[in-house]
Amino acid sequence: MVSLSELRPPHGAVKKRKRLGRGDASGHGSTSSRGQKGQKARAGGKISPYFEGGQMPLYRRLPKRGFKNIFRKEYDILNIDDFVKRFKASDIVDPKALKERGLINKGPVKLLGNGEINFPLTVKVHKSSKQARKKIEAAGGKVEVV
């Protein structure tokens, strides 16, 4: 039986890498295939992918649009129908329980009212819609804002 350590690619499938600067006889000596002089021949002479040969780059030619609020809070969105399959009556639904069941990632939680519920739950979230609060309270549960 063949073990994993004995596996090799077929002959000719792997090409030897080009070894630069190993003398003229190698075919890649002296200038190491970089050509004569110029920015690309220098050490560290990288050109940014945005560089357009001195022409005004596209990202500077286009107008800036809109506004990006750096203080915006991103919420993990949940609906009532997410609870119906995963929780039993009179369970306490808090961010820790939601994370254990894989419903949220890491952010604060907002509850929305999509779906129906017919058993009581105690839900602890960071924000909830009025409709979601009304549906859970109608089923005998309560919504607490953390």
Domains of the chain listed by start with CATH number:
76-145 (3.100.10.10)
pLDDT in tens, 53-76: 999 999 999 999 999 999 999 999
This prediction's pTM: 0.56
Cα distances (Å, whole numbers) of residue 64 to 61, 136, 139: 9, 45, 50
Backbone φ and ψ of 101, nearest 5°: -90, 5
Q: Tell me the C-alpha distance between 101 and 49, whole Å.
A: 43
pLDDT in tens, 105-126: 888 999 999 999 999 989 999 9
